[in-house]
Amino acid sequence: MVTKQIKELEVTKAKMVALEKSIALRIKKELAALPGKYGYSSLEDFIDALREAKGGKGRRGRPAKAVDKVKRRKRAVITEETRAGVKKLVEAGKTGSQIAKALGISLPSVQNIKKAIGLVKARA
């Protein structure tokens, strides 16, 4: 009696596993066909369209197109002219952000230069 039910349970579990595999394969095929179904030639174009439809924002709040194609800017080379420019702009009363933008360097670079030439007090 109980052994018969256990065997039925095992057969049912095997059918369930086979059904899950079948469904997973079917979903995979349907997903692979989606870009073509909607007229896109590549998966990347389809994903970009989905991101735009979502609201244009990708990861970290950047526009969808910029997410995958972010170009890093080159590292700034800090020269004596750059240091002199920072000192001159500090004396002119400019903020760190304004100085960074004017000289094409980052705000942390501005802070480091100010510290190196003694324009910022060290933290106590």
- DSSP string of 43-96, one letter each residue: HHHHHHHHHHHHTSB-GGG-BHHHHH-PPPPPPPP--HHHHHHHHHHHHTT--H
The DSSP 8-state label assigned to residue 37 in this structure reads: H
Residues forming a β-bridge with 57: 63
The reported pLDDT for the residue numbered 98 is 94
Q: What is the mean pLDDT of residues 2-17?
A: 94
Choose between 54 and 4: higher pLDDT.
Answer: 4
Determine the 3-state secondary structure of 11 from DSSP.
helix
Q: 23-52: per-residue pLDDT in tens? A: 999 999 998 898 998 898 888 888 888 888
Q: What is the mean pLDDT of residues 88-107?
A: 93
Domains contained in the chain, CATH given? 2-68 (no CATH), 72-124 (1.10.10)
- The whole-chain average pLDDT of the chain stands at 85
Distance CA 48, CA 42 (A): 10
Q: At residue 17, what is the residue type?
A: V
Q: Give the Cα separation of 90 and 47 in Å (integer).
A: 46
